[in-house]
Structure 1
Amino acid sequence: MLIGLRAVGLVDKDGTPTPRANGWRDDELYAEVCKEIREEVYPQELRDAVPDTSGAGDAAQGWFMRTTGCGQSAARKMASLYSLLTDADPSAGQKQTSRKQKEPSRSRPNKKQPASAAPEKKQRSQPKQSPSPALPDPEMPEVRLNLEIRIDASVTPDQIDQIFASMAKHIYRRRSDEGQ
């Protein structure tokens, strides 16, 4: 990340903010700083090909893919920064951000309502189900645990049963005789 910030002149080689970074944070100087960065970093060919990115985000992305040989994801990120610098209107970024935040929240309930109606019927018919991990808590990371068990060939079947009974006891907090 620091490499990119250095490339546009927002931080120096020591990683400290430059006067350009301070100007970039100031709404009155923002457009001027964006223009400086755009003219300093991006070639005239791109600026001529995509002078306005409001409706030409794909054109900028295509230009980056053709010129740099990068993949779609990297080109999208490059085009996004170029678009940000080309628009150079501090309030435009706030409008786009608020639009992006509203759109997912509108679409999420619509998708969840049909999906949640069907599982409710299944849960009613199977009341002993444990809490479903299908809806992970967005604040908690999902944890997956993979166990690899290597059992020597000389172990008897009774010993194998004891190993798995012990695992059930310690991992699932239940005794092997409860399920039988």
Structure 2
Amino acid sequence: MASEISYPKLSVTNWWALRKKFQSNPNIKITPGFLAMHFEMGEDSARTNVLPPLRAIGFIDDDGRPTDLAYDWRDDEKYGEVCDVIRRTVYPQELNDAVIDPADRVKVETWFKNKARVGEASARKMAAFYLMLCEAVIPGEQRNGKANLETAQKPKENKSRPVTSRIEQGSLFAEDKPQPQTIHVSDSKDVITVPTPAISSSPNIQITIQIQLSSEYTPDQLDQVFASLIKNIKKLQE
């Protein structure tokens, strides 16, 4: 009878929570009591479900002390390298060669069911952990949808800048003499005046319009934007 083969089933949630603990205190000793206290689980569950995977992937020694690999795991720059080391040392080349796209979860689950001789629930847990190693992406950073053994690049900086158009309407108490409406464009020396119909006994009104424009706009494009704005204001006055 073939010997039973087991693979890590460490949950993704515990993976990131434990990494955070290592980052705050790299010299902690991982024991069932420590895991039960910090991860809301019983000591028996920690002893059965968490300690064996941590030893299997090489993060702690027999005494529960962090290894050099666990120290590297804390470093964002070395995270992808650590995931690659675990994949190559814990899993057979047969699996690593077969999994080209980490999105093919069903294929990976089937492999674990057949090779580890486990049920669907255990196969899903094994596959989830393995695929996380394949992606090697730290949460919050940009994903590219494929296996990436390096830290993902940061999102591009938004180059858009706000341009404020300020419409100020002065006192309009004259019955027959309409006061002009003036538009001041920030970052511009241009002042555009638009005639405004007379409004008797109206209070002072000030309206601020926020327009989000790209810094890559040319002067001609900016002129078109504000020309359109003035045109729409005139329509409202008619």
TM-score, normalisation: structure 1: 0.49
Structure number with the higher strand fraction is 2
Q: Over alpha carbons, which structure has the higher Rg? A: 2
Structure of higher RCO (CA pairs closer than 8 Å, 6+ residues apart): 2
TM-score by length of 2: 0.37
Q: Is the helix fraction higher in 1 or 2? A: 1
